A and B are shown apart, each in its own frame.
Chain A
Amino acid sequence: MNCRDALRLLYDFVDKEAPEQDASQVEDHLKKCRHCSAKYELEMKFKQCIEQKGSLSPDCDELRNKIAVQLDDIEPAAGDIGPFGPPF
């Protein structure tokens, strides 16, 4: 694998979407190429940074209770699609 192919697969690899065979070829290339491995490392750190710092866990207890109460008044469809059609 050359640098161009390795960089083409950059985001697929970082997002764990690259097919296994491609991923192992990328790994082989990264062991040999400092330039590409530096780019990969940066993108992985970037992704990690967004994942770890971007996620704010809301406190939804009140909403959860509110929804649970409303479910009592609803009868789920029993296999038909209902008068208004499916939701999507």
Chain B
Amino acid sequence: MADQKLLEVRKRFEHEAMPHIDALMRTARRMTKSELDAEDLVQETMLKSYRFFDKFEEGTNCKAWLFKVMTNIFINNYRSKAKAPQSLTFDDVDDGFLYGQLAKNKVISDPETEFFSKILDEDVRTAIGDLPEDFRIVVMLSFLEGFSYQEIADITGLQIGTVKSRLHRGRKLLQKALWDYAIRSGFIKEPQK
């Protein structure tokens, strides 16, 4: 490639792709659950993206494109092959779980505001980290990175309906986890059965 052209591509990559390293790293940590693997994954993602930057259509969403590259590398190289799809006990969590629990809990006057103000950052992060991988990735892309359903479908290669159902189940599991933290830390008394 001619030096001038190379310089242009490099400049464009630095401008459009490099700023997303923080977001990629945030998700990579949660995908791999290891600082070292996360750094390797992001590094591989950036190098591969640069090599194929001509495939990126200018004017489209560069962040989503990078996440797609990363998700593919993760699925192909990092996800433990031995790990069978997790079957889960999420079905015992009802829709609107938290709403139901808080409605039953009449001890505090404004239960919701009080509840959420007492949840610690650390509790939320642990709850997300503990989600089964399939739900965790979709929850992260939606809640923490702000991608739309369609963008998440493009990134993960899932059908949009699957994205929605995983997000839905992820929500229920998170609500259950936060409720359990609240009871464990004592600011909510377990309702009498």
Contact = CB atoms under 8 A, between A and B. Distances in A.
Nearest to B117: A49
Interface string B37-61: 0010011001111111111000000
Interface residues of A, number: 40
B149 A82 contact: no
A20 interface: no
Interface of A: 11, 15, 17, 38-39, 41-43, 45-51, 53-58, 60, 63-64, 66-68, 70-71, 74-79, 81-82, 86-88
Contacts, number: 134
A49 B51 contact: no
B117 to A, nearest CB: 9
A46 B52 contact: no
Contacts of B5: 78
Interface stretch (B81-89, B119-127, B185-193): B119-127
A71 B26 contact: no
> Among B5, B43, B99, which residue has the most Cβ atoms of chain A within 10 A?
B99
Interface residues of B, number: 57
Nearest to B128: A54
B98 A46 contact: yes
Contacts of A58: 22, 25-26, 29
A42 B26 CA distance: 27
Contacts of A17: 148-149
B105 interface: no
A81 to B, nearest CB: 8
Contact of B54 (A42, A51, A74, A79): A79
Closest 5 A/B residue pairs (Cβ): A53-B124, A53-B121, A54-B124, A49-B116, A42-B99
5 contacts: A57-B22, A70-B43, A78-B1, A81-B52, A86-B55
B43 A49 contact: no
Contacts of A55: 26, 144
Interface string B77-106: 000000000000000000010110010000
Given A76-B9, A78-B5, A87-B72, A60 B171 contact: no
A19 to B, nearest CB: 12
